[in-house]
Structure 1
Amino acid sequence: MVAAFNRFRLFHWLLAAFFLLAYLTGDGGELLHVWLGYGLIVLLALRVLLAPTKPRGFPSLAPARREWRKPTWAGVGKWLTFSTLVSVTLASVLGLGMVDNGEVVAAALPSVSIDVFGTRNWLGGLGDLENVHEFFANLALWMVGLHIAYILLFRSKSVMPMLRGLSPQGPGSAPKGRNHRQAPAWPALQVSSKVQETPDSCSFELTPPAGEAARFAGKPGQFLTLQVPCAEQPMARCYSLSRLPQPGQPLRITVKRVAGGRVSNWLVDNLQVGDSIQAMPPAGAFTLERTDADLLLLGAGSGITPLLAILQAALLHGEGQICLVYANRDEVSVIFAGELATLQQRYPQRLQVVHWLDRRDGQLNVPALVQAVQDWQQAECYICGPQPFSELAGQALADVAVPEQRIHRERYSGVEPAVAPPSPGRPSRVQVALNGQRHTLDVQPGEVLQDALDKAGLETPSACRSGVCAVCKCRVTVGSATMRSNQALSDRQVAQGWVLACQAEPDSAQLQVEY
């Protein structure tokens, strides 16, 4: 939907530009000016009609309520957009009242009656329409000029994506160019701070090396893939950014001990201030898509980590109401209790935090969660927590009729993914489209696609081999495959046929994939 909005916005502004250029040509362009005005009115009406439905990717038309009370520099762009739309709308409507629209339409469409618009000058009661129209037309010109200046000065990076109708490519996108089997470079991040959040969880602030800051500019909700030297061979694991990424500030992750977890326990026990640890840039699709929407955040345990970053971003840049339902075993287990209390005090009119403690409130169940979320059916919903909690939250949202497209889930796992033992059966015949060429190979039962590709000597992109970094993703075009673990691809990507080669086992006798 972001791409749809960018294309709609581009077409809208191009039409407005031609409309104003025709106005500047004077009487010679009057007919063109009127017809462009019709088109502009249609687009403006369509945008207004879309506004109440709040389609994903389409920001609100008017500035946020807080911008009316206390304008900020970050809201200048919204004010300029809003002022331009109002000025162009008024100038267009007034202009349509100054001409005989029946004659204009009849001249182009002979089959249409000249009386189709009724009496000429239907806005004559406003007095001197020409002066009023000229005022708003000139105001629109000034607003367009100021808006262009604002974009060039402060939003220049968004110009090319808008022209292409795309959203800016995130840091988690697959690399372009020639594929390489070797893992990408893992820069070493320095630990600048370590904070004990609860008895079994710690937060680490990680500073990227000089020259890598732009590469590590993450989005709220994304994760870092760490290469942890806790075994003979380093193990790759993902940890969500637990604070809104800000330019010039270290990235923060929070790690909670897991029973039997080699990686998490090693990090909590061994990683200290001054140490370095290798990491891939932030990645992941569990990000804040709309800053203007109401949000319902559902988390349990260390699932609060991406939700806190999303919550901070929404409070800082958004305008909607937010409810966080956070489940834990007891008060001692609540991660970021102090930060959440501070945010509640700072945003009492926008933020509601509901703590569910098993030892105080009993075991969380669907009816109890339905009671907590029943007033938030229109919100964008984000879920992060252990699998049982995620299923429970999904059922509660279904019970209150929240549409699936407004539910965002972060896959969460506190245990090592199980490796399936070899199973008897015939191998799958796999055809791989890579670098403009097609290769055919066999994948044995119980074998993942990446291992078969390696055996065949094909240089395909791969990195963590744990289903967390998405570097090895490819798309199934014929046949089907099942992933042992998936902590990187969104539900939409999976529905489109994307799989992680390091986790995908073919289900069909014939399989075709492309990179």
Structure 2
Amino acid sequence: MSAPTHTSSPDPAAPRLAASLPQWDPEADDALVVRAVRDETPDVKTFVLAPRSPCVFRYAPGQFVTLELEVGGETIHRCYTLSSTPTRPHTLSITVKRVPGGPVSNFLHDHIKVGSVIRAVGPMGDFSCFAQGTPGPSPRYLFLSGGSGITPLMSMARSFHDLAEPRDIVFVHAARSPVDIIFRDELELMARNQPGHFRFAPICEADSPFEPWHGLRGRLNLGLLNHVAPDYKEREIFVCGPSPFMAAVREMLKGTGFDMARHHEESFDFAELARAEPDVAAEVVETEAAGEAHAAEPQVATYTVTFAKQNRSIEVRSDMFVLDAARRNGVRLPSSCSKGLCGTCKSKLTSGTVDMKHGGGIRQREIDAGMALLCCSKPTSDLVVDR
């Protein structure tokens, strides 16, 4: 009796491990499929994303992507820094904290499952110790994060770990309680894997209900900083967290005479800036006070910009960005980076033309379809904006 023959077929994942794969191009296909959803803490989830067709991601650790989501019948653009590392190029990960009342974070937590499809553009941004324009590789780093601001620093730490680079890194993370320490197990493992090179120093303000905290307690201050990194003045420092956290770190370092050229922070807090409203009264006063100076300047063309859904029209000089003019006139528009990067202010121009110099937050096909980023667009005619 002859032995049975077995035919084998490759695992469906095999094409994603091919020796040569193209780089993901959101201009060609901006859809990403959710491959996994992981609970990091009671109110933080990680979403693992991959292209529909096999390809790989290239980016600098610490960069962000802009997601395009349909929430309650409205298209919302929101930026999230990547917690993943480019040393594992087949997937991207974003790690999102649920914000009470936050439409996007709650939508992601409650509705995005394995198999969901999300549209995205990026990665982009320059907050990275690997990016061009930084002072160059440093033998010693100090990473300071607060809350969900850990994500870009985690991406950098994962990259150094995977590359087995001999960097001296002190990673300080501030959390409310032990249960709120994001990536705690992995960071502790990285410290065990890299003795003498990687130190993880979490700081908690309080105990968890069933876990008393016996480590560093309170909020980050100069005493704690001197304890965990007494040589901090000799390190390249990267900071990310809520705006008050970053402001406190900035002032603390300035007060010690630290060389602030070696201090790097995430340049904008996406969530907070998306919620922020301009101080219209202050800007109007500033404009009025500068009125005489404007009168002496050469004549500049002025155009009418109409926001159709709000039934508002304003006058905008041809040398002013539409978003800035809207804010000065109290028109509420979504925005985040104000640099043409994130895509939050992307809007349809029903009529008219603009001079737009963006930083990558809009695709060419969207421009061809009449879309524009209002933060980096100056009017060259009267405009009607579908906002």
Q: Does 1:206 align with 2:67?
A: no
Residues 373 and 397, structure 1, Cα contact 8 Å, conserved in 2: no
> Match of 1:393?
249
Label 1:355 to 1:248 Cα distance change in 2 as closer, same or farther (>3 A).
Answer: closer
2:321, 2:46 → 1: CA distance? 36
Q: Does 1:330 align with 2:202?
A: no
> Match of 1:364?
219
User: 1:354 offset after TM fit, Å?
Assistant: 0.8
User: 1:206 offset after TM fit, Å?
Assistant: 0.4
> Match of 2:61?
220
Residues 144 and 173, structure 2, Cα contact 8 Å, conserved in 1: yes
TM-score with structure 1 length normalisation?
0.49
Q: Does 1:233 align with 2:54?
A: no
Residues 198 and 332, structure 1, Cα contact 8 Å, conserved in 2: yes
Q: Does 1:346 align with 2:193?
A: yes
Q: Does 1:467 align with 2:346?
A: no
**Aligned residues: percent identity?**
28
Label 1:310 to 1:446 Cα distance change in 2 as closer, same or farther (>3 A).
Answer: farther
2:324, 2:200 → 1: CA distance? 48
> Match of 1:412?
269
User: 1:465 offset after TM fit, Å?
Assistant: 5.6
> Match of 2:149?
303
User: 1:286 offset after TM fit, Å?
Assistant: 0.5
User: 1:184 offset after TM fit, Å?
Assistant: 6.8
Label 1:349 to 1:370 Cα distance change in 2 as closer, same or farther (>3 A).
Answer: closer
Residues 339 and 376, structure 2, Cα contact 8 Å, conserved in 1: no
> Match of 1:96?
none
> Match of 1:262?
103
User: 1:236 offset after TM fit, Å?
Assistant: 0.9
User: 1:467 offset after TM fit, Å?
Assistant: 2.6
1:276, 1:258 → 2: CA distance? 22
1:249, 1:185 → 2: CA distance? 17
1:336, 1:407 → 2: CA distance? 24
Can you give the 5+ residue segments of structure 2 that lack an aligned partner in the other structure? 1-23, 131-135, 207-212, 295-299, 306-313, 327-332, 343-358, 362-371, 379-387
1:275, 1:405 → 2: CA distance? 42
User: 1:248 offset after TM fit, Å?
Assistant: 4.5
Q: Does 1:355 align with 2:202?
A: yes
Q: Does 1:196 align with 2:39?
A: yes
Label 1:419 to 1:391 Cα distance change in 2 as closer, same or farther (>3 A).
Answer: closer
* Higher RCO structure, 1 or 2 (CA under 8 Å, sep 6+): 2
| 1:95-123 deviations in Å (ceiling 9; x for gaps) | xxxxxxxxxxxxxxxxxxxxxxxxxxxxx
Q: Matches of residues 241-320 of structure 1 in structure 2 within 5 Å?
A: 241-246=82-87, 248-289=89-130, 290-317=136-163, 318-320=165-167
The count of residues paired between Structure 1 and Structure 2 equals 284
Can you give the 5+ residue segments of structure 1 that lack an aligned partner in the other structure? 1-170, 173-182, 430-438, 455-463, 474-486, 490-499, 507-515
Amino acid in structure 1 at the alignment position of 2:252:
A
Residues 143 and 170, structure 2, Cα contact 8 Å, conserved in 1: yes
1:188, 1:249 → 2: CA distance? 14
Amino acid in structure 2 at the alignment position of 1:236:
H
Residues 468 and 488, structure 1, Cα contact 8 Å, conserved in 2: no
1:469, 1:186 → 2: CA distance? 25
SS of the equivalent of 1:377 reads: helix
Residues 239 and 246, structure 2, Cα contact 8 Å, conserved in 1: yes
Amino acid in structure 1 at the alignment position of 2:154:
L
Amino acid in structure 2 at the alignment position of 1:471:
G
- In terms of fraction of residues, the more strand-rich structure is 2
Residues 283 and 469, structure 1, Cα contact 8 Å, conserved in 2: no
Residues 297 and 383, structure 1, Cα contact 8 Å, conserved in 2: yes
User: 1:197 offset after TM fit, Å?
Assistant: 0.7
Amino acid in structure 2 at the alignment position of 1:355:
P
| 1:190-228 deviations in Å (ceiling 9; x for gaps) | 0001111110010011002327x45x4221101111112
User: 1:233 offset after TM fit, Å?
Assistant: 2.0
2:126, 2:201 → 1: CA distance? 26
When structure 1 is superposed on structure 2, of 420-429 and 258-267 the one drifting more is: 420-429
Label 1:472 to 1:323 Cα distance change in 2 as closer, same or farther (>3 A).
Answer: closer
2:40, 2:67 → 1: CA distance? 20
Residues 236 and 466, structure 1, Cα contact 8 Å, conserved in 2: no
Residues 339 and 375, structure 2, Cα contact 8 Å, conserved in 1: no
1:308, 1:421 → 2: CA distance? 34
User: 1:375 offset after TM fit, Å?
Assistant: 1.5
1:346, 1:383 → 2: CA distance? 24
| 1:106-165 deviations in Å (ceiling 9; x for gaps) | xxxxxxxxxxxxxxxxxxxxxxxxxxxxxxxxxxxxxxxxxxxxxxxxxxxxxxxxxxxx
Residues 338 and 375, structure 2, Cα contact 8 Å, conserved in 1: no
1:344, 1:379 → 2: CA distance? 18
Residues 243 and 252, structure 1, Cα contact 8 Å, conserved in 2: yes
Q: Kindly report the root-mean-square deviation, in angstroms, between the aligned alpha carbons of the 2 structures.
A: 3.9
User: 1:321 offset after TM fit, Å?
Assistant: 0.5
Label 1:224 to 1:275 Cα distance change in 2 as closer, same or farther (>3 A).
Answer: same
Amino acid in structure 2 at the alignment position of 1:334:
I
Residues 340 and 376, structure 2, Cα contact 8 Å, conserved in 1: no
1:270, 1:383 → 2: CA distance? 31
Amino acid in structure 1 at the alignment position of 2:83:
S
